[in-house]
Chains A and B, each alone.
Chain A
């Protein structure tokens, strides 16, 4: 172990922590120590962790603010659902179908990321942010118009622009079934997502992102974040590396979306709106920009927190908002930081570092 680089060691600690957390939760689940509502949260927690880690690649590592990450999740979710449901007859094994759905979700979201990235990455700062927001909303409305069904002849897809079409317009053969019903979303989906799949997805995303960050390409991406002009002048291809980070991030979000979609029997396209993008962004910022481990912890805690605050009932979202503001003030205001430094002894802080 001594020969390993410091960063490699850090990465192994991250992997180990995730594996231990998975084992601990599985053991506790088998022993019946977990509540039902917490068990129901496990798959969404995994999805949000992957979302946060992948958004951190765009916002923290590449340094571009994206407000439309839920759009990629949505593309992944619905393409994954279509893949899983249409292969229901052909492939009986749910595990294999789940894997195919995740791959399909990632592929479609990756393509969407590439298509959106080409125009978007030419813009900068707040303009880039608003355009990603706009794309997120466009994806939401387009999927809201989608009607998809499957029968023995294959997939039937119509695009409900007028708002007047229904499943009957698919003209399916007998025995055909609708997968996505326009504004009603995906209904009757077979829920094949599992916590184990979520864990595997988290591990895969971590391996992809941590290896990317530590590689030559990763250093190029971070150089673009720190000083674009200097990076360009030493011959770093701006478009190539920006696209690399953006598309990877979109594809991982797509896989997370597919897992999320296959965890619920009913799913609306409006679920993946601006608020979901913001929610994930909050995980990333609170966890620390560019800090992958921080994203995992923040996503897990902040997904569980509203559930734990359930005893406050109506006040829980209010408490959440206040906590959010106070954390931002506490970590970014110089005076408050100084005050905290006086309260918490120096030794403790050094150890924490």
Chain B
């Protein structure tokens, strides 16, 4: 029973990672850039929803929607101001700019909401008891897992069935050819950032509801873990991000429970390193051999 409870908390944590990793992987697939500011968009989503619930007394669902709208706008603005001018610049320059954006978001949040951790009111409280109360699953875990699955299905349908999704796939394969076919590459990239940021807002609400504490640096570690998850599953691959996220969550939860709390992150990273040595492009990534 204990094992089952760790497994469920692992899957729940993994679902949050998966939602964040989806944003990472989509942006990487299309813009070929590591968006280090993604983790901080999560934090902004958390703060916006908290402010909406506490100061404006809005119901949780409206707060979540508001956070999604704000983060989407934020994502598009960041992309337009900081990343779009660097479309043809070397990837390291874009990476450093992303780090700059990350610092900017963290320090803006510090000025607006202060450095002290704020306690977060979960969007739903309570837990479901099964097996005569031996196993209790909080509603927030159930909500997290359900959201992850719904997001995954909707996103897969969107990418495979809609015209915009087709444009996204075309851009990630070959930007030049996509442009020649009349696809507006810049707009497609903006849409990708918008979707990624909206997902980050949802992840922010779910993450803060599970851990009930929020500060300006809240987003950075989950951001790094989700990035790891995206690479673990094969960066650029949407099912890969989902699989990588869930597996990473389970590994972390099991390592905390059975091996060592102190070394949980190390174990997660060690698994990533081993995986990459055996499969250099991640679990579901396509390995493209170099041609001379």
Contacts and interface: CB of A to CB of B under 8 A. Distances in A.
Interface of A: 59, 65, 119, 122-124, 126-127, 129-131, 133-135, 137-138, 141-142, 144-145, 160-163, 183, 229, 274, 278, 281-282, 285-286, 289, 314-315, 317-318, 320-322, 324-325, 328-329, 331-336
Given A162-B260, A317-B103, A317-B107, A137 B90 contact: no
B34 interface: yes
Contact of B86 (A160, A281, A329): A329
A127 B276 CA distance: 8
B34 A325 contact: no
Contacts of A329: 82, 85-86, 97
B34 A126 contact: yes
Nearest to B99: A278
A281 B104 contact: no
A333 B292 contact: no
Given A123-B280, A161-B259, 11 more contacts: A59-B92, A138-B269, A162-B262, A274-B224, A317-B110, A322-B104, A324-B99, A325-B97, A328-B93, A328-B100, A331-B93
Nearest to A227: B292
Contacts of B34: 126, 129
A250 to B, nearest CB: 17
Contacts of A135: 269, 273
Interface string B144-170: 000000000000000000000000000
A339 to B, nearest CB: 12
B71 interface: no
A105 B75 CA distance: 43
B198 interface: no
12 contacts: A119-B277, A124-B280, A127-B231, A161-B263, A314-B111, A317-B103, A318-B107, A322-B104, A324-B96, A325-B97, A325-B104, A328-B89
Contacts of A124: 280
Contact of B85 (A161, A162, A335): A335
A124 B110 CA distance: 36
Interface hub of B92, B108, B227, B292 (most chain A Cβ within 10 A): B92
A163 B96 contact: no
B263 A137 contact: no
Which A-B residue pairs are the 4 nearest by beta carbons?
A134-B269, A321-B103, A324-B100, A332-B89
B92 to A, nearest CB: 6
B5 interface: no
B261 interface: yes
A119 B273 contact: yes
B277 A122 contact: yes
Contact of B82 (A129, A134, A144, A325): A325
B111 A315 contact: yes
Interface in B68-89: 82, 85-86, 88-89
B140 interface: no
A227 to B, nearest CB: 10
B237 interface: no
A285 B93 contact: yes
B228 interface: yes
Interface hub of B104, B235, B270 (most chain A Cβ within 10 A): B104
Given A122-B280, A163-B261, A321-B107, A131 B273 contact: yes
B174 to A, nearest CB: 18
B51 interface: no
Interface hub of B89, B90, B103, B277 (most chain A Cβ within 10 A): B103
A123 B276 contact: yes
Nearest to A278: B99
B265 interface: yes
A161 B264 CA distance: 10
Contact of A130 (B99, B101, B228, B281): B228
Contacts of B231: 126-127, 130
A333 B85 contact: yes
Contacts of A141: 262-263, 265-266
Contacts of A331: 93
Contact of A325 (B88, B100, B220, B259): B100
B28 to A, nearest CB: 8
A145 to B, nearest CB: 6
Interface string B18-58: 00000000001000001000000000000000000000000
Interface in B224-244: 224, 227-228, 231, 235
Contacts of B227: 130
B272 A160 contact: no
A353 B96 CA distance: 24
A5 to B, nearest CB: 29
B180 to A, nearest CB: 21
Contacts of A130: 227-228, 231, 272, 276
Nearest to B92: A285
A144 B266 CA distance: 11
Interface hub of A282, A329, A334 (most chain B Cβ within 10 A): A329
B290 interface: yes
B139 to A, nearest CB: 31
A321 B86 contact: no
B176 to A, nearest CB: 18
A131 B272 contact: yes
Contact of A282 (B99, B228, B276, B290): B99
Contacts of A142: 263, 266
A281 to B, nearest CB: 7
A282 B96 contact: yes
B255 to A, nearest CB: 11
A285 B282 CA distance: 28
Contacts of B101: 321, 325
Given A325-B104, A328-B93, A127 B280 contact: yes
B262 A281 contact: no
Contacts of A321: 100-101, 103-104, 107
